[in-house]
Amino acid sequence: MIQQAERMEGLTSAIFSQLEVLQKKAAASGVDIIQLSIGNPDMAPAPHIVEAMKQAVECGDNYGYTLSKGKPELLQAIAEWYDKKFNVQLDPSTEIHSLIGSQEGLAHIGLCLVNPGDVVLVPDPGYPIFSTGPHIAGAQLHKMCLTSENNYLPDLDQISEEILKRTKLMILNYPNNPLAATATREFYEKVVALAHRYEFVVCSDFAYSELVFDDYRPESFLSIPGAKEIGIEFNSLSKSYNMCGCRIAYVVGNSEVISLLGRLKSNFDYGIFAPVQFAAIAALTGPQDCVRETAAAYQRRRDIIVDGFNSIGWHVERPKASMYIWAKVPTKQSSFDFAVDLLNHTGVAVVPGKAFGDCGEGFVRIALVQPEERLMVAVARIKEWFQVHIESEKKR
């Protein structure tokens, strides 16, 4: 009889699996599903990125193993990009490492830094890998509840000294998934001071750094004085350049932590397929109009949803970044029940906030991954159902 390892007990995709089954069932019955649950961009990379990959694919020399760290040209391109964008200087030889997607790096970092029983501070709600990676490493998770009252930032003053003394790692994510929240420089300065005092490592997930709206510009965590001494930052080409399926990202920052992750990866995998690296180089060094156009497209989509929902009485905030809307459940239902009702009655698929942690209950995440026309259809369907549903609730 096969028995799973104890570390598997904390891993579950129950809510996501349930949603997938329900969506397939609805589709099979003829419902036209508008998929706003999975954060999978529907846009393609810019032509110059595709062309770089095409040329590299046609070169027979590009099919061998590559260095796990990444091609020197890629590391240099990342360093120059960070310097230009965030005025953060990085040594390509010691402070940058390529990743097969940032999720892979986030999954492995706990194995490099955490012993069983050590504390890892993770956001709740949070992207699932923030918790599952440290869990696999045997960490004790301390959930930092993110609430609107604190602008979806961890309340650092509420973390006890006992916990802080045992902390080895803190994971942050701004612009945030699923909350679409942003962080201030003052908050990061406080985090850096806390990490220095209690000697733990900070991991900043910065994957949505370019999906920003209304002239907002996010701070890189590494731009804070003293951050590089205790921190690393993950970034990715997935969302900024619409290269999700290419699986290429990177981690930058503290050279000791980068070295540890590199050592672990050298035992686990090889480098990224060379044509994908050449595409990434073209993305980082080429024209950036495509990034601005992608962000502008998400901004228009955001406005369709926010304005549309607010017009029917479902009040949602207008985020400054990311590709998501974090919306309070407008009925008396749980987030899961509401998401199921929404799917069955309108065909619009969203994710219940509970899927991202206990503090996500009462909300749903909406991914802006459909063309504007489809989002308008979604708003119209929800409007028709919403008014009937609310009136029905009032009579109960």
Please give the full DSSP string across 189-243, using - where no structure is assigned: HHHHHHHHHHT-EEEEE-TTTT-B-TT--PPPGGGSTTSTTTEEEEEESTTTTT-
End-to-end CA distance of the chain: 50
Assess if residue 242 is contained within a domain.
Answer: yes
Domain shared by 329 and 281, yes or no: no
Q: Taking 70 as the threshold, does the pLDDT of residue 395 lie above it?
A: no
Assess if residue 26 is contained within a domain.
Answer: yes
Final residue before a domain boundary, out of 286, 301, 316? 286
Instruction: Give one word for 258, left, alpha or beta, with left for phi > 0 and alpha for psi -120 to 50.
Output: alpha
Domain shared by 342 and 279, yes or no: no
The CA distances from residue 368 to 15, 189, 209, 388, in Å, are: 20, 31, 16, 25
Q: Taking 90 as the threshold, does the pLDDT of residue 256 lie above it?
A: yes
Domain shared by 236 and 130, yes or no: yes
Domain shared by 19 and 76, yes or no: no
Backbone angles phi, psi at 223, to 5 degrees: -80, -10
Range 77-104 average pLDDT: 97
In whole angstroms, give the CA distance from residue 299 to residue 319. 9
Domain shared by 103 and 200, yes or no: yes
Identify the residue whose tokens are 């205790």.
230
Q: Taking 90 as the threshold, does the pLDDT of residue 136 lie above it?
A: yes
What is the reported pLDDT for 390? 65
Assess if residue 32 is contained within a domain.
Answer: yes
C-beta of residue 208 within 8 angstroms of C-beta of residue 321: yes
What is the reported pLDDT for 7? 84
Res. 16 pLDDT band, cuts 50 70 90: confident
Domain shared by 14 and 129, yes or no: no
Range of the domain at 350: 6-44+289-395
Range 130-134 average pLDDT: 95
16 vs 272, more confident: 272
Q: Taking 80 as the threshold, does the pLDDT of residue 387 lie above it?
A: no
Final residue before a domain boundary, out of 254, 286, 318? 286
Assess if residue 252 is contained within a domain.
Answer: yes
Q: What is the CATH number of the domain that holds 382?
A: 3.90.1150.10
Over residues 285-331, the pLDDT tens digits come to 999 999 999 999 999 999 999 999 999 999 999 999 999 999 999 99
β-strand pairing of 167-173 with 201-205: parallel
| For the chain, percent of residues with pLDDT exceeding 90 | 89
Domain shared by 276 and 349, yes or no: no
Range 211-234 average pLDDT: 97
Assess if residue 156 is contained within a domain.
Answer: yes
Final residue before a domain boundary, out of 255, 286, 317? 286
Domain shared by 27 and 63, yes or no: no
What is the reported pLDDT for 373? 98
What is the reported pLDDT for 294? 98
Q: Taking 60 as the threshold, does the pLDDT of residue 394 lie above it?
A: no
304 vs 391, more confident: 304
Average pLDDT, the chain: 95
Q: What is the CATH number of the domain that holds 218?
A: 3.40.640.10
Domain shared by 39 and 150, yes or no: no
Q: Which amino acid is at 70?
A: G
Token pair belonging to 211: 């999906």
Q: Taking 70 as the threshold, does the pLDDT of residue 393 lie above it?
A: no
Over residues 172-220, the pLDDT tens digits come to 999 999 999 999 999 999 999 999 999 999 999 999 999 999 999 999 9
What is the reported pLDDT for 392? 67
User: In total, how many domains does the chain have?
Assistant: 2
Backbone angles phi, psi at 268, to 5 degrees: -100, -35
Range 149-170 average pLDDT: 97
Domain shared by 168 and 317, yes or no: no
Assess if residue 299 is contained within a domain.
Answer: yes
Domain shared by 271 and 293, yes or no: no
Q: Which amino acid is at 175?
A: P
Token pair belonging to 80: 């120059």
pTM (two decimals): 0.94
Give the closest residue to 39 by CA, choosing from 120, 102, 109: 102
Q: Taking 60 as the threshold, does the pLDDT of residue 102 lie above it?
A: yes
Assess if residue 1 is contained within a domain.
Answer: no
In whole angstroms, give the CA distance from residue 21 to residue 243. 27
| For the chain, percent of residues with pLDDT exceeding 70 | 98
Assess if residue 62 is contained within a domain.
Answer: yes
DSSP H or E stretch at residue 365: strand 363-367
Domain shared by 144 and 15, yes or no: no
